[in-house]
Amino acid sequence: MESVIATLLGYLPAVSGLNLPLIAALIVSAVGFVTIRRMFSRSTRPNRRSPAAVVVPPYEPDLVHDPKPDPKDTFADNLPPPRSKPDRSPVAHALEKVPFVARPLMAWGQYCLLRDVESFLARIGAGHRLFCRLHLDEVFGADTNEVSDELAKAVSRALEPCVIDFTILDRHGSPVMGILVDEDDPVVHAVFRKSAVPLIVLPHDYSWPALEHQLELQLVPGGTLLRAAS
């Protein structure tokens, strides 16, 4: 079509006898037809440079070679920045000049009690554990479902100075019995009573068979240990 238009334009000066307005109208119509055809072909022809014409296959992860995300990295991003620790090297340097000596953690009588109770717990085989010198606020706390958080914190501060000589925990880590030696702390006694956890107060000259009997009644279902041994 473009060549025909060019040929007609070349012969226009030689054909003066023809109807020039008609010929001009035909040429304009031909040019418009060519323009419309080009526009239509461009709009329907896929553009190789257009992103819409590029078919991207779906991503299929390579389970063998692709690294798996590390959950530690995500968890570490959510952690608060670490607190700066004070430099304790001057204290350590000063302590180099102080002589130290190891000392017993408890009196000999309490240590004997510790050995006897541990032996009893191992014999019944129920998974109990014995802890020494726990602060009362480490074992008990106010029920936050019944009291406010402010009151619970105040109760914790009031219990902190009190110490339990021996605390027996079950296999789930819950206290099931407390033992005091030589003194009956009224605060400790009140908390154990309110928590429905048994508390034994031993005099200095306690009897181990009597204590063993109390441990059996509280910790052995049915109290069958001593009867079976006898």
**CB 195 within 8 Å of CB 180:** no
Residue range 170-182, pLDDT digits in tens = 999 999 999 999 8
Q: What is the 3-state secondary structure (H, E, C) of the chain?
A: CHHHHHHHHHHHHHCCCCCHHHHHHHHHHHHHHHHHHHHHHHHHCCCCCCHHHCCCCCCCCCCCCCCCCCHHHHHHHCCCCCCCCCCCHHHHHHHCCCCCCCCCCCCHHHHHHHHHHHHHHHHHCCCCEEEEEEEHHHHCCCCCCCCCHHHHHHHHHHHCCCEEEEEEECCCCCEEEEEEECCCCHHHHHHHHHHCCCEEEECCCCCHHHHHHHHHHHHCHHHCHHHHHC
Do the beta carbons of residue 202 and residue 182 sit within 8 Å? yes
For residue range 58-75, list pLDDT tens digits in order: 656 555 555 555 555 554
Query: What does pTM read for this prediction?
Result: 0.56
140 in Cβ contact with 191 (< 8 Å): yes
pLDDT tens for 10-32 read 555 544 455 555 556 655 565 55
What pLDDT sits at residue 227?
Answer: 40
Domain ranges, ordered by start, for the chain:
2-44, 108-221
